[in-house]
Structure 1
Amino acid sequence: MRYGAIEAGGTKFVCAVGDEHGNVEERVSFSTTKPEETIQQVLDFFHDKQIEALGVGAFGPVDVKEDSPTYGTIGNTPKLQWKDYSLLAELKSRLGVPVKLDTDVNAAALGEYMHGAAKHADSCLYITVGTGIGAGAIVNGETLQGFSHPEMGHMLIRRSTRDAYPGKCPYHRDCLEGLAAGPAIEARWGEQAQKLYHQEEVWQMEAFYLAQAIMNYTLVLSPEKIIMGGGVMKKDGLHEMVHQELEQLMQRYVPLPENYLVPPGLEDNAGIVGALMLAKDAR
């Protein structure tokens, strides 16, 4: 079977064609601009690909409830031109194929669970730390949903006593994303994260914040594997620093599994492979 996949991010869209085994045959990416411009580029890519179905991992908030009348509609996003945009309905009508949609991080979690670093686990958590912070969870083979999808990047955490930065999140100010996402690192230290790689204090603070969140995720969800991706996590040694901080916070209250915190096995393809897996289940 030939499937289409979209990783619909707030900064860029990635479109791909692949198969039911997660093999990516062709992919392209372009900037996320106005909905009509971006969707036209999507249509241009897929128009001659003869896909059987489409899977989409979308930025949010987005309605992920398949029985909802607004399934696949973007919610209260800071990208105001996309607010209330019926992404799934538009793609379904314009492409004429079944479409299944989940969040971008849930799609990445699904990709890693089926074909990546968590393929031998029964549960996992995928966290992306970049322009924002988000996480998707797989429990009993399915992405975790409640009345909506999880927004784990906005968890409240303890502030470091060495941190005077007020926080970047427009909604909660000093939540996890407000203190530890890429824009917060740049605003606090005056340089982009990749230009701060040799400043140890930057990454000690980053590890402190991320480890707090992971402790909470671990105590609530107890995933067998946690995969940490995104641009900020490309810093060499950061996974190990976070793990050390986590061990200190846990105080062996809950013994952690071996190789608990790992980078994505699919590298930058986790979201696209997950979207291909969503396409397999599209109706």
Structure 2
Amino acid sequence: MSNELIVGIEGGGTSYKVAIGLNIEHAMENVFITETKTVDETMEPIKQFLIKKESELGGIIKRIGIANFGPIDVNVGCILPSTPKVSWRSFNIVEYFKREFPQVKHVQFDTDVNGPAMAEYQLVKGSGIKSLAYVTIGTGIGVGLVINGSTVSGLMHPEAGHIYTPLHPRDMETGFKGFCTFHTEGCLEGMAASPSIVKRRNISIHDVKSISDDDEIWDIEAHYLAHLCVNLILISSCQVIVMGGGIMNRSILFDKIREKTVQLLNGYHVMINNESIKNIIKPSVYGEHAGIKGALHLSQL
């Protein structure tokens, strides 16, 4: 009897990462990355990689977890028509893999932030943690939620990157309104994702990493991201907020966000103070591997 293999697929806006193996640890030894292009140009090399690895590993793919860029329809298994990636509009990625690998008995499909949220949750669920949020801040802002062991979805999936937040005084002074094409003035993603820094400073995205730690821009970032944390705490009562993505490589942001979050709550939440907040707002344990780890964990659901 052939070994049963699991597959994790992390679908990002710039690249797709695929892992295959007997279990999560083994799958992390067999990883393939391809650039996100059109559907056909992206799916074909992934399919060929999986076919090749099935043969090499002497197994059959039985379970697939997909953590994909959005917006998506979690229940149907497709990318929604509102994606700016034209060829991906309405593409049903779940049906694609069921068709190409008919022996697969389960495909679990979720967002590229709910996947990492599930991976991070698996590390803490035995310690009494029932709720966790995963936030990624890069070219956009995404939020995944796990509550009582399940990722959250409903009308769609969490889109907390597009909540409205009070403007930072400097933005009020300069009239900066963000870059979100759907929402003007106060949309979190438009005000705090990396293109907002680029737009404020009129620099290249590659120059963001050269901005000094003492620059005011990081206080502005902390202002908006702390408002997100306050909303997550008050609405979902999440016990842990994991923060990752390119912007959070700027490690000074953690203390700034923690301090501002406590300040905004202003004593209202009796469980949160300057000490406890350190165990609530945290960096990702998995770092850049959070997405693919999340996809592999989804395959186990």
Q: Same fold (TM over 0.5)?
A: yes
Percent identity among equivalent residues? 36
- Map 1:112-191 → 2, pairs under 5 A: 112-115=120-123, 120=127, 121-163=129-171, 164-174=175-185, 175-191=187-203
Structure 2 vs 1, CA of residues 168 and 118 (structure 1 numbering), >3 Å: closer, same or farther?
A: farther
Structure 1 residues 161 and 100, CA gap change in structure 2 (3 angstroms): same
How much does 1:21 deviate? 4.7
Contiguous gaps of at least 5 residues in structure 2: 55-60
- The reply to whether residue 90 of structure 1 matches residue 92 of structure 2 is no
Q: Which residue of 2 aligns with 1:5?
A: 8
Spell out, residue by residue over 1:90-110, the C-alpha distance to the aligned partner (whole angstroms, 9 max, x if none): 122112223211011000100
| Structure with greater helix share of residues | 2
Correspondence for 1:16 among 7, 19, 26? 19
Q: Secondary structure at the match of 2:170?
A: coil
Report the structure number with the largest CA radius of gyration: 2
Aligned partners of 1:82, 1:4: CA distance in 2, in Å? 21
CA distance in 2, matches of 1:119, 1:245: 29
The residue that corresponds to 2:42 in the other structure is 38
Cα distance change of structure 1 residues 19 and 130 upon mapping to structure 2, 3 Å threshold: farther
Q: Distance in 2 between matches of 1:78 and 1:21?
A: 32
Query: Which whole-Å deviations, capped at 9, do the CAs of 1:12-53 have from their partners, x for residues lacking one?
Result: 111112444555222122221111100012112211223322
User: What's the CA shift for 1:118?
Assistant: 6.4
Q: What is the alpha-carbon distance in structure 2 between the residues aligned to residue 260 and residue 49 of structure 1?
A: 40
Q: Decide whether the 8 Å contact of 2:19 with 2:32 is kept in 1.
A: yes
Q: Distance in 2 between matches of 1:59 and 1:104?
A: 5
Offset at residue 2 of structure 1 (A): 2.6
Paired position in structure 2 for 1:68? none
Q: CA deviation at 1:235?
A: 0.4
Structure with larger RCO (C-alpha < 8 A, sep 6+) = 1
| CA distance in structure 2 between the partners assigned to 1:197 and 1:131 by the alignment | 20
Aligned letter for 1:241? K
Q: Counterparts in 2 of 1:193-212, with a 5 A limit?
A: 193-212=208-227
Do the aligned partners of 1:18 and 1:276 also contact (CA within 8 Å) in 2?
Answer: no
Alpha-carbon spacing, 1:235–1:106, altered in 2? closer, same or farther (3 Å): same
The Cα of 1:73 is off from its aligned counterpart by: 0.8
Mapped to 2, the partners of 1:19 and 1:158 lie a distance apart of 48
Q: CA RMSD, aligned part only? A: 1.6
Q: 2:296 aligns with which of 271, 276, 280?
A: 276
Aligned with 2:238 (options 200, 223, 229) = 223
Q: 2:70 aligns with which of 60, 73, 82?
A: 60
| Residue 158 (structure 1) shift | 0.6
Paired with 1:171 and 1:78, the residues of 2 have a C-alpha distance of 12
Conserved 8 A contact 1:20-1:280 = no
**Unaligned stretches of 5+ residues in structure 1:** 66-70
Number of aligned residues: 275
CA distance in 1, matches of 2:296, 2:98: 16
Q: Which residue of 2 aligns with 1:249?
A: 264
Task: Quote how far apart the aligned CAs of 1:119 are.
Answer: 6.1
- The farther-off stretch of 190-199 and 153-162 is 190-199
Q: Deviations over 1:187-207 (max 9, x none)?
A: 112233212243520100000
How many angstroms apart in 2 are the aligned matches of 1:19 and 1:197? 45
What is the rounded CA distance, in whole Å, between the counterparts of 1:139 and 1:279 in structure 2?
18
- TM-score relative to the length of structure 2: 0.87
Rounded Cα–Cα distance in structure 1 between residues aligned with 2:267 and 2:125: 23
The whole-number CA distance in structure 2 between the counterparts of 1:224 and 1:26 is: 33
- SS at the partner of 1:200? coil
